[in-house]
A = this chain, B = another copy of it.
Amino acid sequence: MEAARSDEVIRAGELEIRPDDALVLAAGRPLNLSVREYGVLVALARRAPRIVSREQLSSIVWDHPLRAGDRSVDVYVHKVRSKLERALPDVRFIHTHVGFGYRFAAEPPLHGFHTDATTR
């Protein structure tokens, strides 16, 4: 897991994360995240704009190396995505880099030259 630095506030678009309070605000409204969901989101957001591998996410959030066949990271990325999308439908926050991992950034869905299916 990670230590919280005091006064830390992460903003990305309409999203605001306050690791000190374990609080996440979407357009000002609190998001209800479980411990794991929150861990994944903060781990990614803190490392933005870098790509974080599943192995790293496992160490950071689960405190143990990723076991072969373990899909829990994927599952939780999916859960976080769902909740974020429900709160802020017009922005994508978690981006997949196949073979590398996930990257956090507030970007419009399916726009721009790096998210296009023809460009992958």
Name A's B-contacting residues (CB within 8 A). 18, 21-23, 26, 29-32, 34-35, 38, 49-51, 82-83, 86-87, 95, 97-101, 103, 105, 112-115, 119-120
Contacts and interface: CB of A to CB of B under 8 A. Distances in A.
Nearest to A97: B32
A26 to B, nearest CB: 8
Contacts of A26: 113-114
Contacts of A112: 29
B30 A100 contact: no
A50 to B, nearest CB: 4
27 contacts: A18-B50, A21-B50, A21-B51, A22-B51, A22-B97, A22-B101, A26-B114, A29-B112, A29-B113, A29-B114, A30-B49, A30-B103, A30-B105, A30-B114, A32-B97, A32-B119, A32-B120, A34-B98, A34-B99, A34-B120, A35-B98, A38-B100, A82-B119, A83-B119, A86-B113, A86-B119, A87-B114
